[in-house]
Amino acid sequence: MKKFAWPLLAALLFTLSSPALADPLKLGRNQGGTQTLPVLAINEKYFEKQGLDVELVMFLGTSDGINALNAGKIDVGLSFGTGSPLTFAAEGAPIVIIAGNLAGGHPIITKPENAAKYKSVKDFKGKVVGTPRLYTADVVFRGAVFRAGLVPGRDFELIEFRRTIDVLEAVKSGKIDVGIGSSSITAGALEAGLAIPLWSNDLFAYHPCCRIITTREVLKAKRPELVKLIKGLLLAERKFDQDPEAGVKANMENMQIDENLSRTLTLDPHIQLAVDPNTKGVLTMWDYMKESKYITSTADPRSFIDTSLYQEALAELRKEEPNEPFWAEMETRFKDWN
């Protein structure tokens, strides 16, 4: 027995001193953009250091991802926008926004020879416009044209698509003049030689996108894991703020793209990374959806937002590093945005 005592003791000590990894938290994401913070957190082992095991699950469309979330096939949605989760929640789905991932960053695409024609939303008049229904960029677009006094069908022709990749193909083929894109097709648009004369940020400054969402069932069953997830993402946000090149590297490896393209996608100033839930921005998005007849729900949109997990995660980080100025900045931002 003495022969095995020390190896057993060493193994026991290692187990006790290492974070215990629970069942993987399944994180759904769309192919393409909006993944810098989660993949950076994975690269830097921030989730692992929190004792959290994560599994990234890829989806080709927002609706597919949210349907999987509602069916219990994944635990969290990372990059399914803001408009789509709000639409599902308004229709009774048990979706809850618990944090953010990305603000802005959706390209409006056209052929290079037409780029100079688009300087503002008013320049859509008389054009054939393609938009991906239910996507956040679509909500931003519809709200902006409503406030500009433009009416689809009267002032311009509007064609709806199920996926943003379909919008991209329609622009390339000349089926539409201009397309409302999403961050997931930015790389494809640039590779195809298309122009980006406007961004969604130009229609609604710093609009929220890609909220971190879950269901009420998962929130109840896995709250500690969700707080750890947000802590890992906040650590990644700080890392990116201090060392953007780490984000370039993470996206290069995760998306398997060259350095130049990764640098373009990761460092573009229109793509603004923020884990804050941004309640005020979400409520403005809700107003846009009501104004453009996207939804007719009389529900209180605040009931679809739970900021307490973000606050708990931030408070824990502040306690762990009380002299870190970044966490103080995040607390100030939370007060401003929520």
pLDDT in tens, 250-264: 988 887 888 888 888
Among 37-51, 53-67, 210-224, the least confident range: 53-67
SS3 (DSSP) at 273: strand
**Residue 18 scores a pLDDT above 60:** no
End-to-end, the C-alpha distance of the chain in Å comes to 61
Give per-residue pLDDT as tens, 118-174: 999 999 999 999 999 878 899 999 999 998 999 999 999 999 998 889 999 999 999
CATH level 3 topology of 107-203: D-Maltodextrin-Binding Protein; domain 2 (3.40.190)
Q: Within 10 Å of residue 204's Cβ, how many Cβ atoms?
A: 24
* Element of type H or E holding 108: strand 107-110
Domain coordinates of the chain in residue numbers?
Answer: 22-101+210-337, 107-203
Residue recorded with tokens 């009931």: 303
Is 9 a residue whose pLDDT tops 80? no
Question: Residue 72 in 3-state DSSP?
Answer: coil
pLDDT, position 8: 34
Cβ-in-10-Å burial (0-12, 13-18, 19+) of 118 comes to: buried
Span 22-101+210-337 CATH architecture: 3-Layer(aba) Sandwich (3.40)
What rounded mean pLDDT belongs to the chain?
89
Q: Helices (DSSP H) in 148-242: which residue ranges?
A: 164-173, 186-191, 200-203, 216-221, 223-242
Residues with Cβ < 8 Å from 317, sequence gap 6 or more?
231, 234, 235, 324, 327
What amino acid is encoded at 300 in this protein?
D
Predicted confidence band of residue 62 (pLDDT cuts 50, 70, 90): confident
Among 324, 213, 328, 204, which residue's Cα sits nearest to residue 272? 204
Phi, psi of 319 (to 5 degrees): -70, -40
Please state which of the ranges 29-38, 96-105, 171-180, 259-268 shows the lowest mean pLDDT: 29-38
The Cα–Cα gap between 1 and 39 comes to 45
- Side-chain-side CA neighbours of residue 318 (13 Å): 13
Rounded to 5 degrees, what angle do the CA atoms 232, 199, 259 make? 55
For residues 101 and 275, the answer to whether their CB atoms sit within 8 Å is yes
Q: Calculate mean pLDDT across residues 260-278.
A: 88
Same fold, 22-101+210-337 and 107-203: yes
pLDDT at residue number 314: 98
Q: Cα–Cα distances in Å, from 241 out to 237, 245, 318? A: 6, 10, 17
111, HSE (Cβ side, Cα atoms, 13 Å): 11
Banded model confidence at residue 32, pLDDT cuts 50, 70, 90: low
Whether the pLDDT of residue 206 is over 70: the answer is yes
Name the pLDDT band for 69 (thresholds 50, 70, 90). very high
